[in-house]
Amino acid sequence: MVTIEGQIAGLHIEQGSPLRYALCFLDQPPIPLNERIGRTLSFSYQDLIRCTYCNRRTKKSYNNGYCFLCFRQLARCDQCIVKPEQCHFHLGTCREPDWGQRVCMQHHIVYLSYTSHIKVGITRMPNVPRRWYDQGATAALPIYQAPTRRASGYLEVALKAYFRDKTQWRQMLSTKGCDVDLRAAIIDAHNDGVIERYIEDEPLFSERAPIPLYQSADVCRIEYPADTLPPKITAINLEKTPDYSGRLLGIKGQYLLFDTGVLNIKKYTGFHINLSIE
């Protein structure tokens, strides 16, 4: 039996067929998970949450790991993170200008991925392909390289006329493979000329136009160690059920799949737990 106590720091994911996962803790060695599929994992939440930024004890986790003060003060928790077209760095109002320079004022990739459906999204170039792993995509295609986060957000807004931008997590977990042609989908969206005219007319792109990638980029195919699903896809809540045991069936995105439910590890970043593996 393996026993570890510590603060959850997320899932580490490495390339492979299928992807290789490890459960990470703050100041503790990571626990490889692929070879533990089929074994029983027991979680005991210790009624302790610490902010992943300031380490302050907090009664509630905000935005997957922050205390309320950091949630209110940090630029990385701002509304423009989920709505990048609202990035206001260029106005000089970013609450963390050094962080904004490192994160927002860098090249971003606009992409199509297949989760429960075709989805449009953005991510910084260094986050490819990790962003697709995190969201549980089974296939992904870079379609544009944009000069900044705000520029990628403008493109994403335009592409929302053709594609959804949210993932339905239950459908994502039950989706296997990808039965659509992502390259054909973006080409179809371009056929009416609306996207090209939008790029030509948008003042934001007058000096640094986005670079189209969809004709030449490779489609990334992704396989997860998730051949078996629980009979019913229900979320496990460690705050309501602090002591939980289940047989690990697989892993997809940020979810551990058990025989009696699924656990979103990202949601519990900063939670202090005892973990036993039989």
pTM for this model (two decimals): 0.94
The pLDDT-based confidence of 27 (bands split at 50, 70, 90) is confident
3-state secondary structure of 227: coil
Q: How many whole angstroms separate alpha carbon 62 and alpha carbon 48?
A: 14
Structure tokens at 181: 């042609």
Given this model, what pLDDT does residue 207 score?
Answer: 87
Instruction: Give the model confidence (pLDDT) of 246-255 as tens digits.
Output: 999 999 999 9
Q: What percent of the chain has pLDDT over 90?
A: 95
Q: What is the largest CA-CA distance in the chain?
A: 62
- The answer to whether 199 and 211 have CB atoms below 8 angstroms apart is no
Q: How far apart are CA 234 and CA 231, in angstroms?
A: 9
**Beta carbons of 269 and 52 less than 8 angstroms apart:** yes
Alpha helices (H) in the chain, listed in sequence order: 68-73, 97-103, 130-134, 149-159, 169-174, 182-190, 194-201
Residues 146-187 have pLDDT tens digits of 999 999 999 999 999 999 999 999 999 999 989 899 999 999
Residues paired with residue 92 on neighbouring β-strands, in sequence order: none
What pLDDT score was predicted for residue 181? 97
The pLDDT assigned to 30 comes to 93
DSSP per residue over 62-123, as a string?
A: BTTTB-HHHHHH-GGGSGGGTSGGG--GGGT--SSHHHHHHHTSS-EEEEEEESSSEEEEEE
- Give 238-247 pLDDT, tens digit per residue: 999 999 999 9
pLDDT digits (tens, 9 = 90+) for 115-145: 989 999 999 999 999 999 999 999 999 999 9
Closest CA to 135 of 266, 22, 253: 253
